[in-house]
Structure 1
Amino acid sequence: MPSQTASQELAVESKDMAELLVVCLTGLGWRPVTVNDRMRQLIATQVKSERPFSYEFFATLSWKPNGSGCTLSLEVREERNRWTITHCKAKCDEIMQRIAQSADVLIEANAEQPTPSRYGTAKWATHEDIVQAGYWNNVEDSRRLVVSPGEDDNYVTLTPEDTAMHALVCGPTGSGKTTSIFIPNLIERLDSSAIVTEATAGNEPPDLYAKTSGYRQGAGRQRIYYFNPDDLASDCINPVDAVKSYSDAQNLAKLIVENTTSKNNYGDDVWPKAETNLLTMFIAHAAALGKDLGYIRSLLREGPDDLVTQMQKSPVEEVRGEYGGFHKTSREGFRYGVFASLMQRLALWVNPRVVALTSKTTIDLNSLAKEKFTFYLAVPARKSHLKPVAALIFNYVLQYAEEQHFEHPLFLSLDEFTNFGLIPGIADRLGIIRHKKIGVMLGIQDAMQLERVYGREEATIMFGQLGCRIFFRPRTIDVAERISKMAGQTTIYERKVSSTGQIQEKESGRPLIDPSEVMSLPDSKMLVFTPKTSPMLMERFTWRDYDMAMKVPGVTKPQVVIDDRLVKDCKDLNEVQSWQVKGEKKRREEMKESPISDETLKEEIKNQVADTLEETAPTYTEPEPDPEYEEEEIQESEKEPEQDYTDI
């Protein structure tokens, strides 16, 4: 049978070809017999009569993708006559001409068609979106947050402005947060100083410190500082050195009390307030004398009555007045209770290791603002009773970062952030350092972990402060659902051609990525939400990318020496004093509890201190509030008098 073939290139996507061909052929009087999108083929027929002849034409059209368009092949044959080759050629030319003209119309229509939005407009960011946002760059500018590997010398990095809006790095233990985000930023951003936090799993060296400190010191010419309350090979920091006013003392006291109060403590808050007020007095007194928290713990051992004379001679006016008021207006049992509870809160400072590491400051803080430095803070995750010490030191360093102007860029790499306890006002402080162009990478396991430490309201405010959010594959459906909702809904618009040539339309909605897809993310991928682009499904760094840099040995610090005198002094601090026994007896009388022997009371008091050193958050039995003291106590807690201790 006679036939004619032809082909041509079209700038039409494969998904639109079937519709284009159906419209063109029906417009020319052809009847589609079968349309197969999967096989990319369409067959149509046309029967025509011209007396005394009749013709039956068949057109077979097939296409295959070619770049951004398609290559179309056409065969036209006539089945009833053997002499109709000219007719086949005319039909072939007619079809190809109509398709070429209609293709231009279709391309224009696609360009003008609005994006379907009935159910949502969420979409994945394209490479063009990343480039337009200014995120496709090299890593020469150390102010840029390194997010993902790119091609050649270009990485996906946030602009300095977006980096300063802070980043959340969220993923369960072992998901790759450290390898994919924290290590690349510490290795690449050598012209920026850094404050680094991390948690250790056991007695092994902190991971980030061991793998990056040597490289940053050598290649980055940075000064390296390190503090770990469980490692004597640390620099020493005395948090009382940061106290310059009475309100500073009050903030430090609040920090200690909040990080040594159980989350399940629903008792009367007059006790924590009274303890905060008393600790504020002792901190202000110690700051004026150049002392430390170990000194305060030794003062408490003397008891409320024996300290009256000493506190009346304090160089700080507020201390003299506040302590006198506390001693005169409170009942004896209440005073003993406050002292006993405060001694328990400071029980860590009977540990020679903690006392030695916090008794002085061996870092020249005045030089930090002028040099490039990296300050590593580590805390053992399984020794959670050390969290109050870690919180104090982190707060000390953060306060310094807030107050200083640094000659070199600075960023905060806060991996396993919640292991450092509760940092008061952290949401507001993130806003302060953002204005100083100091970016923060906040590493947590999930949102619920942050809510457990800070509460839902504070955690929600913190999330609002974070411009970039990076998620690794979660292990629970709750977290996956949160991430899915964050990505948003998209509208799916489908326009298909049936096997008989009918054009069908369908519009529906679905999550851009549903929870099951979030939970099955490949190990090589992570989800990234940025201030300027749609969500991004990105490749992530692996340990192989920085293997050579991580092999540089970490910086080794000299061991802090603990002498026999300190060991003996700390041992003496553990001894139960007569006033403690007397005070506990008084409390039991007021509570109408059964009397017990002095020896039994001593054992109970010793056990309370021992329990404190083992529990996640120390808890203790509070005495009943003193109604005579409660009103005055609350009024006193609201006072924040200022006094500069610089010249004392």
Structure 2
Amino acid sequence: MTYLVVIVAAIVAAVMVKQYPVAAIVAGAAIVAGYRQRDKAFLPLVFAVLFGLAGYYLFNAYVSVIGLFGKSMAQEQLKLTDVLTFSKAPLSALWVRYGLLIGAFIGLLLSSLALSSSKHDSRHVHGLPVARNAAKGTRRWAGDADLAHVAEFGPPKEGRFGGGTLIGRLNGRIVRLYPDKCKPPLPQHAAVVAGTGAGKTFSFVIPNMVCAAMEGESIVVTDPKGELTCILGPWLQSRGYKVYVFNLAHPQWSSFWNPVLEARDDEEITAFATAIVQNAAKDKSGYFVMKEIQLLKALIYLLKADFPPEQAHLRSALSLLSWPIEILNERFTKAYQTGKLPVEGWEEWRGAVSENYQNAVSGLTAKLGVVRAASIARLLSKHEIDLSALGREKAALFCILPIGSGHLKPVLATFYYFFFRRLYALAAENGGRLPNPVRFLLDEFTNVGQIPGFVEVISTARSLGIRIQFVLQGLKQLQDVYGAAEAEAILSNCPIQVFLGGDDATTTKYFSQRLGEAAVYAVSERQDVSLPWNRYTKDRRITESVTKRPLMMPEELAGMDPLHGVALVRWALPIYFKKVGWTELKQAKEIQALAAKSLAEIFPARDEEPIELPKPPVEIEENGLDIDMEAAEELF
């Protein structure tokens, strides 16, 4: 809109400079203001009109006051030529004419003051003017023109390029990033860092759920408090979305999902067992951890092969660990001999009991403690969620986590591992791309745990139609979960990196280095103090020079305005933006009108049915069976 104002003003100035010089001056002021800072182009025009009207009404008031004292002044009808030229004119026209000129001057002055007070834009870094000096570097903040190849402007809307990744507002306009507009296209994966109170849900997660919905993408979102489900669930349903809820905080309002039945082959069983054990262990690669993984793999194979589906779940694996070794071995042997248990399961079992079996049982029992809780055990005991469904049709899955959900990392890492596996398989069936694109918005990403193969997923997902956008409180969290090397690989596959606020030292140092340095004009003051009395003189030299200055130092990022943020976009200049809350979007009224007051409105509570566990062939407690574990191990 403001571009149009500048263009119209330029045309007016060119056409009317001879015939209507006053109009040309006002238009010229708008052009100057718009050239220096685009969204200030309207100021000279608005103030010119306001002061012109003020001149007209003040003159009328002046005439009325004079008339009260017995004098009269002739008034003539205002003519355009009298107002917009410098020819002789009636007094009323002069008041309007000078009002226009004064207003245009004041508007231009205000736009200049706004420019000089600006801290960060395409022409300023911390209020210092950017120097066009290639020798000192060309880094600076991005303006609109610098982002045209990787972004769209304006609020989310229906249609092509109507979504994207909404980061905030630049020069008064909403910016939605589209790295896949580049040639070659880049993935729209995003890493977002937002410390406590930085507004990650309000200004990033919900706005980008709206963006995803505008493009008809399926949505998988981590919902730490369950509020997103209530706010956006009904609105998405009204737009034709199927809504699924995987609720680890309140399992009575959740669909069931059984990872044991989800696992299909040796590769998936291995990844499943590894995710469960490693995400519950401090030492992720020690000998005893490997033994625990081997034992869990064997139990999963046995549950799938030799137990009814209602007993084939993780809580049953915990129950089997309490069985005496000879009874469990008899069950494995019989299942293998009858052809139920595949050779891989038999080999895992034989390896698990070869030595240190008791240590493996003790360690694995502790790590499976998360499924001892009846609510979680019940949630993982049946199979209702088809993970590939989100790649076939418009759907949204809300994964609701309890506060302090670190103990659920084994379950969550497994869940997302299988999610990506099912989407990859579906894409392979459909020529290498999902029938319906899927966007993952993973808040509290490190609480998900270490997802097996995540580096490979994020490096190849773009071509399949998968967008992964995760939110952290600090980059140190990512390093703690994945290790420094894999954390770096994950970040390198995120062309969009956003800092919404926080004071984590690792994060602020990283973004400060990535933002780089700009060449700016800096004013310095010098005084010759070689002689003592020179200190008391006013003879100072003020000089202006070009110097390099970081766009943001780590401590400046830590103390940044909470309403602002910075973004790095590959193949573009960095962005300093103002945050946009989701309530500012045009879809907000409809979302708020449809929002549910409780989860029960979206997913009715289920009856708490007891889960079925395997029963050992003998009643251990009744018979007082005492097993010598060392002697039992010698049998094998």
Within 1, Cα distance between the matches of 2:516 and 2:142?
Answer: 13
Alignment of 1:118-133 (within 5 A): 118-133=135-150
What does residue 449 of structure 2 align with?
421
Q: How far 1:454 sits from its partner (Å)?
A: 1.4
SS of alignment partner, residue 461 of structure 2: helix
Q: After superposition, give the CA deviation of every residue in 1:103-155 in whole Å (9 maximum; x if it has no partner).
A: xxxxxxxxxx9932344321010122123444335533355222224799964
Q: How far 1:436 sits from its partner (Å)?
A: 1.2
Name the Cα RMSD after superposition.
4.1
Alignment of 1:127-526 (within 5 A): 127-136=144-153, 139=156, 140=158, 141=160, 144-149=164-169, 155-161=175-181, 164-190=187-213, 191-200=216-225, 206-218=226-238, 220-231=239-250, 232-262=252-282, 265=283, 269-288=286-305, 290=309, 291-312=312-333, 313-314=335-336, 315-319=340-344, 321-323=346-348, 325-326=350-351, 329-330=354-355, 334-365=356-387, 367-405=389-427, 406-493=434-521, 506-526=545-565
Q: How far 1:166 sits from its partner (Å)?
A: 0.4
Within 2, Cα distance between the matches of 1:567 and 1:246?
Answer: 24
Q: How far 1:352 sits from its partner (Å)?
A: 1.9
What does residue 580 of structure 2 align with?
541
Within 2, Cα distance between the matches of 1:152 and 1:536?
Answer: 13
Whether the 8 Å contact between 1:117 and 1:490 is mirrored in structure 2 is no
Q: After superposition, give the CA deviation of every residue in 1:30-63 in whole Å (9 maximum; x if it has no partner).
A: xxxxxxxxxxxxxxxxxxxxxxxxxxxxxxxxxx
- Name the one with the larger strand percent: 1
Q: TM-score, normalised by structure 2?
A: 0.66
Within 2, Cα distance between the matches of 1:419 and 1:511?
Answer: 33
Unmatched segments (≥5 aa) in structure 2: 1-23, 34-104, 113-129, 428-433, 527-537
Whether the 8 Å contact between 1:378 and 1:390 is mirrored in structure 2 is no
Q: TM-score, normalised by structure 1?
A: 0.65
Q: How far 1:522 sits from its partner (Å)?
A: 2.0
SS of alignment partner, residue 316 of structure 1: coil
Counterpart code for 1:545 = E
Within 1, Cα distance between the matches of 2:525 and 2:323?
Answer: 90
Q: After superposition, give the CA deviation of every residue in 1:448-496 in whole Å (9 maximum; x if it has no partner).
A: 1111111111111111111001111223455333322221011224699
- Alignment partner of 1:530 is 2:569: yes
Q: After superposition, give the CA deviation of every residue in 1:177-211 in whole Å (9 maximum; x if it has no partner).
A: 111111011123321111111323xxxxx122222
Within 2, Cα distance between the matches of 1:574 and 1:181?
Answer: 55
Within 2, Cα distance between the matches of 1:387 and 1:576?
Answer: 37
Within 1, Cα distance between the matches of 2:229 and 2:627?
Answer: 46
Whether the 8 Å contact between 1:143 and 1:160 is mirrored in structure 2 is no
Counterpart code for 2:240 = R
Larger radius of gyration: 1
Counterpart code for 2:364 = L
Whether the 8 Å contact between 2:166 and 2:207 is mirrored in structure 1 is yes
SS of alignment partner, residue 260 of structure 2: helix
Alignment of 1:56-75 (within 5 A): none
TM-aligned CA distance change 1:354 to 1:216, over 3 Å: same
What does residue 21 of structure 1 align with?
none
Within 1, Cα distance between the matches of 2:403 and 2:363?
Answer: 25
Within 2, Cα distance between the matches of 1:146 and 1:165?
Answer: 11
Counterpart code for 1:397 = F
Q: After superposition, give the CA deviation of every residue in 1:61-120 in whole Å (9 maximum; x if it has no partner).
A: xxx99969x99xxxxxxxxxxxxxxxxxxxxxxxxxxxxxxxxxxxxxxxxx99323443
- Name the one with the larger helix percent: 2
Whether the 8 Å contact between 1:147 and 1:158 is mirrored in structure 2 is no
Q: How far 1:317 sits from its partner (Å)?
A: 2.6
Counterpart code for 2:303 = A
TM-aligned CA distance change 1:429 to 1:119, over 3 Å: same
Within 2, Cα distance between the matches of 1:399 and 1:527?
Answer: 33
Counterpart code for 1:309 = E
Alignment of 1:52-91 (within 5 A): none
The percentage of counterpart residues that share the same residue type is 21
Q: How far 1:242 sits from its partner (Å)?
A: 2.5
Q: How far 1:349 sits from its partner (Å)?
A: 2.7
Structure 1 window deviating more from structure 2 (321-330 vs 385-394): it is: 321-330
Whether the 8 Å contact between 1:418 and 1:453 is mirrored in structure 2 is yes
SS of alignment partner, residue 401 of structure 2: strand
TM-aligned CA distance change 1:216 to 1:573, over 3 Å: farther
SS of alignment partner, residue 168 of structure 1: strand
Within 1, Cα distance between the matches of 2:622 and 2:401?
Answer: 30
Structure 1 window deviating more from structure 2 (377-386 vs 438-447): it is: 377-386
Alignment of 1:32-47 (within 5 A): none
Counterpart code for 1:552 = L
Within 1, Cα distance between the matches of 2:400 and 2:220?
Answer: 11
Counterpart code for 1:243 = A
SS of alignment partner, residue 221 of structure 2: strand
TM-aligned CA distance change 1:393 to 1:527, over 3 Å: same
Q: How far 1:329 sits from its partner (Å)?
A: 3.5
Whether the 8 Å contact between 1:211 and 1:551 is mirrored in structure 2 is no
Counterpart code for 1:282 = L
